[in-house]
Amino acid sequence: FLFVGTGIVKSQEENVIAIAVYNFTRYIDWPQEQAGKDFFIDVIGHKSVYDKLKEITAGRKVGNRNINVRFLEN
């Protein structure tokens, strides 16, 4: 039972991290000259967080900027 519980906690942790990163983007003041350019979020070494963040941001924008999530191994 310990292993099942650990998997659930890990999944919830990934959700919290991904949601926090996405919500953080709402507090950024965008310079006017940057309007319309894509916004990139790079996730380093945490594939499960990348997957969740990619899911959360699919089809969404920050202001008028498309969100692109990228995964980097290291």
Does the pLDDT value for residue 7 go beyond 70? no
Does the pLDDT value for residue 66 go beyond 70? yes
Distance CA 54, CA 51 (A): 5
Q: Taking the complete model, does pTM exceed 0.75, yes or no? A: no
Distance CA 38, CA 54 (A): 15
SS3 label, residue 64: coil
pLDDT, one tens digit per residue, over 29-46 is 777 776 778 889 999 988
In DSSP terms, which residues pair with 68 in a beta bridge?
40
Distance CA 45, CA 69 (A): 13
Q: What is the rounded average pLDDT of the residues 38-57?
A: 91
Predicted local distance difference test score (pLDDT) of residue 10: 59
Predicted local distance difference test score (pLDDT) of residue 33: 72
Predicted local distance difference test score (pLDDT) of residue 1: 42
